[in-house]
Chains A and B, each alone.
Chain A
Amino acid sequence: MSDTNGTMDRRSVLAGLGGVGLIAGGALGLTTPTARGASAERAAAGTLPEAAQYGAADPHIATIGLRWAFTARVIFADRFNIAAPVQRGYTSVGIGEIWGPRLQGRVLPHSGADYYKNTFNTYYLFEPADGALIFIHNRGTKRRFVAQPEPGAQPVPDANPDLQAPGGWVRFRVAPTFIAPVGPHDWMNRTVFVANATKHQNPDHTVFTYYEVL
């Protein structure tokens, strides 16, 4: 069974995991087109966290699923700006760690930076526990809102757009592409991800929670 078997019924894959899989498949109502991209390798990976399925009011609109894949905590080394015609920011990667169901290891120390213009444009490397090198290129968006919206509601932009100001809710979202070696991490070469990025201080670091788009 290969990852490219797009006709496989995801429920049957989950059923192979036993009772937990059956419960998860039923709870998610995986009868939509997006469920057909199911992967046998997920079964091989063992028990994974439950995926969340998102849809629209109109049942004819395709639904989509997200499932936590791994989290990376990246501790930055230094920051500065270059006064180019469009300002170029520089935030360099110091060290970091990676944990989660589908990838564990570290950020390769000093392997790159966020070289941003307005928004994320990062280039650096992951080094999972098996010693592979995985290149990550991240792009993304950031915006400040009054508060995190209720499900289905639109977030209300904050009158003060300063991302550094206290209070409010700053939504940082990033979408990576990976280049991974042929082998156990090859799935990352053909998987779309979206991540929550949450900034922290002392030291300057960000926690990126990566979700696999199912």
Chain B
Amino acid sequence: MNPSQNPIPDTKVNGDVRLDFAFELRARYETPRLQHTPKGHFRYQDLVSGAVTGARLTAKVYPNSGGQYDTVRVDQVREVDAHFILNAENGERLYVEHFGYRASAGYYRVIAFLDADTKGAYDWVNDTTFVVTAQESPDEREVVFTYYVAN
């Protein structure tokens, strides 16, 4: 069916998005390693440690579970791509992935998606889009991510 043949109702109504604070993650990384690639500079930072604090999740970063795999593009924008595992205080494990951009001042704007056990305490993250702001330390070895639920 060609949709252009149908009368289209007036649904030009904007929907809203509201952000509600969820938790904060402080990640410690090794010094970045840079490599020149056809896509720009690949920038790898191994994850050393980290912790999540907040009313909705308390966790530690699972050791050696990933890192930050960024690309500094030819236009100098750094694409942030961080993946790792969290070990929650109740023993459950969660996967977290981030994608977004680093602004020049050391601030990130990223989106995060998490996976958790559907029968566990954190099932709510499975169907949640997180909007995240993050700040990198001057030595680039610590990043504080602040997670908001897109309600």
Contacts and interface: CB of A to CB of B under 8 A. Distances in A.
Q: Do A and B bind each other?
A: yes
Interface of A: 4-7, 33-34, 36-37, 52, 54-57, 61-64, 66, 68, 71, 73, 75-78, 94-95, 99, 109, 119, 139-143, 148-149, 151-155, 157, 171, 173-175, 177, 189-192, 194-198, 200, 202-205, 207, 209, 211, 213-214
A119 B129 CA distance: 11
Contacts of A140: 129
Contact of A203 (B3, B21, B146): B3
A190 B101 contact: yes
Contact of B8 (A66, A191, A203): A203
Secondary structure dominating the interface of A? strand
Nearest to A99: B12
16 contacts: A36-B103, A36-B107, A54-B21, A62-B133, A73-B12, A109-B4, A152-B20, A154-B124, A173-B129, A175-B111, A189-B77, A192-B101, A194-B111, A198-B13, A209-B16, A213-B109
4 nearest CB pairs, A to B: A6-B105, A196-B15, A143-B127, A56-B21
Interface of B: 1-4, 6, 8-9, 11-21, 24, 56, 75-77, 99-101, 103-107, 109-111, 113, 124, 126-129, 131, 133, 135, 144, 146, 148, 150-151
A143 B125 CA distance: 10
B17 A209 contact: yes
Contacts of B76: 4
A152 B56 CA distance: 12
A209 B21 contact: no
B21 to A, nearest CB: 4
Contacts of A94: 2-4
Given A189-B75, A209-B14, A4 B103 contact: yes
A205 to B, nearest CB: 7
Contacts of B24: 61
Given A173-B129, A173-B150, A191-B101, A205 B17 contact: no
Contacts of A155: 151
Contact of B146 (A64, A77, A171): A64
Nearest to A53: B19
B4 A6 contact: no
Contacts of B126: 141
Contacts of A6: 103-107
Contacts of B99: 177
